[in-house]
Amino acid sequence: MKEEKSGSKKLELLKTQLLSNSEHTVIEALDGIRTEGEAEILPTVLELLAETDNPDIEAGIIQLLFDLQTDDAVPYLIDGLNNQRLKHFHNFLISAFWQSSLDGSEHLTLFVTKAVKGDYMICLEALTVIENFDGVFTVAEIQHCASILSEGIDREKQKEKKELLKSMLEVVEQLATEE
């Protein structure tokens, strides 16, 4: 119980530091979160990412995302991917999955959709994430994702991205055959 209180106090202190007007304090807080932070702080971190125009703070947050060590972070990253205010950072949020070896396999459809709708870099990051899945997928989910990708391939004008989408379709179809 005592640990819970001290953990809660630490979380509140980190939140306060993240919201500081001092770049130095914010960077120190990000370093503290990287070494001993809990996933529950991520909504505040992602809100800061959406709000800041400081490139050093952005870089610090992105590095933090790449260093996540717990699958408890997955729901917060998914929320970030569904947040239009973070649209500029979706490629980094997707990249965090493979950079941190997080299991995003429950969100195959989201990654496929982001790849089709996003730019080349988002597509590349999503492909990398999907290539690392070893989850079990239903036939219906694979068919749904294949359909999204096929439509995306037909509509895509950029040659390089179209090739990535074709590669993703092959990877997704292979997920159905792996055991």
| In the block, residue with structure tokens 């179209």 | 162
Q: Looking at the structure, do residues 120 and 70 belong to the same domain, yes or no?
A: no
**Together in a domain, 12 and 68:** yes
Residues 9 and 86 grouped into a single domain: yes
Residue 98 maps to a domain:
no
Q: What is the pTM of this model?
A: 0.90
Instruction: Domain of residue 120: give its range.
Output: 103-179
**CB within 8 A of 168, min separation 6: which ones?**
112, 115, 123, 126, 127, 130, 149
How many structural domains are present in the chain?
2
Is 96 a domain residue? no
On whether residue 153 sits in a domain, the answer given is yes
| One pLDDT digit (tens) per residue for the chain, 179 residues | 233 445 678 888 889 999 999 999 999 999 888 877 789 999 999 999 999 999 999 999 999 999 998 999 999 999 999 999 999 999 999 999 999 999 999 999 999 999 999 999 999 999 999 999 987 899 999 999 999 999 999 999 999 999 999 999 999 999 986 54
